[in-house]
Amino acid sequence: MKYKKGDLVQILDDIKDAYEEVWHKKGDVLPIAYIAEDGEGLMFDSKLGIHYSRVKLVESHNNTGKEIERKFLVTSKDYLKYRIDNHMYIQGYLSGAGPANHKNVVRVRIDGTFGKAWITVKGVNTGCTRMEYEYEIPVKDAKQLINLCEGIVDKNRHFCIYKRKNWYVDEFLGPNSPLVVAEIELKKENEKFQLPPWVGEEVTNSFSYYCSMLAYHPYNEWDPIITGIKK
């Protein structure tokens, strides 16, 4: 059967029960059309009769007023087996760089891969929940705002799917290398999900691992006993 672009949801219905079995036989690129639970992930496969190139995965940007997120340290590069896309980010903090548990944050982010930019306002964490409002802005404006920021963070964000949940794996660059942190965004604090085999300690409440803190106190400046980095 030949599918066309408008038939993507039907394709998902046809293959959603089998996608994980197929995936791991093909390496680190998802070889089927699959939409994750929140509608972000999308791939095309010519074997299904779809003759389109890969669509870039774009993170869903939040205007619901609330972010519920949990963070975990990444213990191996096995997350690459679950990756469906990756984007290069540069982000800076107009305010709030430093101890994030005591400050509201105003962040500017540029997605260098997709060519878009956003300004984000985040409130103080209460558990794994905090206020968040995010708005797209012109990239040229974002570049000017980045120059005004208190701290800068560069990272390669890997978009992964595990057990039909989207995971964002941030591979930090520059002074925050070789830190790698995984995040999952939830609809409610007690939402159930399975941990991937490549995550370890939860650091949701360890604010040193938040980007607003890493911009102020980079990972390379931490105690070597914690990081394992030889000075």
State the sign of the Cα–Cα–Cα–Cα dihedral 216, 127, 155, 136: negative
Please state, in angstroms and rounded to a whole number, the distance separating the CA atoms of residues 58 and 195: 23
From the candidates 34, 93, 216, 219, give the one annotated as an active-site residue: 93
How many CA atoms does the CB half-sphere of 57 hold within 13 Å? 28
Give the residue among 70, 51, 59 at the shortest CA–CA distance from 184.
Answer: 70
93 catalytic, yes or no?
A: yes
Calpha distance 163→97 (Å, rounded): 34
- Measure the CA–CA gap between 29 and 113, rounded to whole angstroms: 18
Which active-site residues does the annotation give? 93
